[in-house]
Chain A
């Protein structure tokens, strides 16, 4: 029971976070609509629709990242349960049955997490509507809605997404042979990195066409702001290509960054571990890449937009001041909204590392027998975590700066000409600090568990 809870903790947290995020955004849309001046109430329908559209985009991003994390968690869980699954298969369970039971666990976790997130979100919004008017955040004497049927729909979608992600993540069940239950003590075969021609082709097509559209958008942007639309499509296509092709892109990046870390036996083993299941590493890092890219992109786009527009308004200090303030607020709101996806991705990364250390008990025992000190084992886990986090972070920052610049350039190139991106260092610094903290936090619990492994564990025949 405890083990089960530990396995599903990340899925529970991720679905709770997703539901919390979605329900809060939906309820806030209603609260903000109620908060606007009744004098313009006729227009509030449109206002609400626009807010809802924006909210929807961020909810979809969060759900997408959450689904990747959950699918990844489940494939890690399956890898750890190989022997149990083989035993079930041995006594006659069909693989479809085993798989749907595993996915069922996902549905339950998603539902529980979703309901928890819903509860927290409602409490949060209730608190805001009670204390908001007193603190002057909201106008007084309005009737603020605390419920929206859409919120329930959101919880349902979170649960279903978790279910689907669990189903996707448990696809390896079909490849567990019943014979694995009898092989007394052979190392379980590694999760093979399969060649997926269709996926590779799609990723390449999306990436190339997206990049081409981006280039066209940037060039056309020197003539018209409408070029942003072309760049927007290019950005979505190329970024989807990157997410889809993570299994091609992340492993070489991890190998590259591994060179910087791979000194000494601890470092070399850590790097080898990070690259050991390329697909798993790719999946667990791509979520963080997406989160960091989005945060950086909005920050860079808005900062570049600011620089370019300030140039255009050079003659009007009043306008400049107003613009700066609006943009600062917008940046903060967007960073917060997108940052949530990064937090969900972070939960996933922490969890993958944790589970993979848990599944390596015998190997850690072997290292201790051969003469690894506790400190060397701890260093190994730390380096592994740092390497994965920092690689995802670095790649995300690079992509984010590029996409943000491309957006600003396409929109304002006609006014400002070709300009270098404006990099908002405080936000970039914040992201980097977030990454460092994440690397340490992600490693803390697994490292503690790793040094507790006794050398004798390697000799026990499980």
Chain B
């Protein structure tokens, strides 16, 4: 009998996932036999030094990239072999994204960006969604910025718009890739607070890729990647503990390489 992800409380799951680039002697392994699930309603951080495969893992889980081997599920639906059109629909309806920067369509104003995921589906937001957008705009302090275009906003404001857009469709999971990477530390903390409260009060599932221990310390659960493998799976930790774990990882990696 097939095990359902939902029975395990998971919204996204990969099993025996491998991802390689190139062939022969140039073959590079980005992910090596990774099996992991993102738990519903949790704020999960995926940590690792650069080149550890954390971004690749996120791309595959979010249907942006295809695995070389293994299987990928979103909810109970296997997406391993879905074609481009199906993956596109999936991203549109069931996944939200927040990146380090360049999150917003430059030619659309804030409201245009917030409504884009609905319009891509060929419809207007229904009254309930309309209400949700309004509430998000209000709580993120964007009410007097709705007619502004992205280049007229500060980095922190742009990031808040991106979060509002990701939350507006109530996706199964939001993937955030270094969402604080381009922000000053105070604005970064605000953004992390927003993501955290979306999980706490809104029940939103979020998976965040980062290499910043400070950012990861806001998460409920932390996955450590090194050399394409999950090396540690931990509950919430302080920034200091995370830094220490990371330093150990790097010395282990350096030892392995030597």
- Enumerate chain A interface residues (CB-CB to B < 8 A): 184-187, 189-190, 264-265, 268-269, 272-273, 276, 362-363, 366-374, 376, 454-456, 458-459, 461
Contact = CB atoms under 8 A, between A and B. Distances in A.
B91 A185 contact: no
A184 B182 contact: yes
A276 B106 CA distance: 9
14 contacts: A184-B182, A186-B182, A187-B150, A189-B151, A265-B119, A265-B120, A269-B107, A272-B107, A366-B102, A369-B97, A371-B120, A373-B89, A376-B120, A458-B102
Interface in B91-141: 91-93, 97, 99-103, 105-108, 112, 116-117, 119-122
Interface in B52-93: 55, 59, 64-65, 84-85, 88-89, 91-93
B107 A370 contact: no
Contact of B116 (A184, A189, A265, A455): A265
A373 B59 contact: no
B107 A371 contact: no
B101 to A, nearest CB: 4
A371 B89 contact: yes
Contact of A269 (B108, B121, B150): B108
A22 B52 CA distance: 61
Interface residues of B, number: 33
B107 A273 contact: yes
Contacts of B182: 184-186
Contacts of B151: 187, 189-190
Interface in B4-42: none
Given A372-B88, A373-B88, A456 B116 contact: no
Contacts of A456: 59, 64-65
B120 A370 contact: yes
A314 to B, nearest CB: 59
Contact of A366 (B84, B103, B122): B103
- The interface centre, meaning the residue of B99, B121, B177 with most chain A CB atoms within 10 A of its CB, is B99
Given A370-B120, A371-B120, A456-B64, A185 B101 contact: yes
Contacts of B119: 264-265, 268
B92 A370 contact: yes
B102 A185 contact: yes
Contacts of B122: 264
- The interface centre, meaning the residue of A186, A264, A265, A376 with most chain B CB atoms within 10 A of its CB, is A265
A185 B181 CA distance: 10
Interface of B: 55, 59, 64-65, 84-85, 88-89, 91-93, 97, 99-103, 105-108, 112, 116-117, 119-122, 150-151, 155, 177, 182
A379 to B, nearest CB: 12
A385 to B, nearest CB: 16
Given A363-B106, A459-B177, A370 B99 contact: no
A369 B89 CA distance: 10
Contacts of A273: 107
Given A185-B100, A186-B182, A370 B150 contact: no
User: Which 5 A-B pairs have CB atoms at the shortest separation, nearest pair first?
Assistant: A371-B92, A272-B107, A185-B101, A265-B119, A371-B120
A185 B182 CA distance: 8
A185 B101 CA distance: 6
A335 to B, nearest CB: 38
A366 B105 contact: yes
Contacts of B89: 371, 373
Contacts of B93: 371
A367 B85 CA distance: 14
A272 B100 CA distance: 24
A65 to B, nearest CB: 29
Given A184-B182, A269-B107, A455-B64, A368 B88 contact: yes
A301 B122 CA distance: 48
B193 to A, nearest CB: 22
A371 B88 contact: yes
A218 B16 CA distance: 83
Contacts of A369: 64, 91, 97
Contacts of A366: 102-103, 105
Given A185-B102, A371-B121, A454-B64, 4 more contacts: A371-B88, A373-B85, A458-B99, A459-B99
A189 B150 CA distance: 11
Contacts of B92: 370-371
B65 A370 contact: no
B179 to A, nearest CB: 12
Contact of B120 (A184, A185, A189, A372): A372
Nearest to B106: A187
Given A265-B120, A363-B106, A369-B64, A186 B101 contact: yes
Contacts of B85: 373-374
Contacts of B84: 373-374
A345 B55 CA distance: 45
- The interface centre, meaning the residue of A363, A371, A461 with most chain B CB atoms within 10 A of its CB, is A371
A456 B108 CA distance: 21
- The interface centre, meaning the residue of A184, A185, A269, A370 with most chain B CB atoms within 10 A of its CB, is A370
B194 to A, nearest CB: 19
Nearest to A374: B84
A269 B117 CA distance: 13
Contacts of A185: 100-102, 182
Contacts of A376: 120
Contacts of A374: 84-85, 88
A254 to B, nearest CB: 13
Contacts of B100: 185, 461
Contacts of A367: 105
A378 to B, nearest CB: 13
B93 to A, nearest CB: 7
A370 B150 CA distance: 16
A268 B89 CA distance: 20
Nearest to A276: B107
A370 B91 contact: yes
Contacts of A458: 99, 102
Nearest to B101: A185
Nearest to A461: B100
Contacts of B102: 185, 187, 362-363, 366, 458
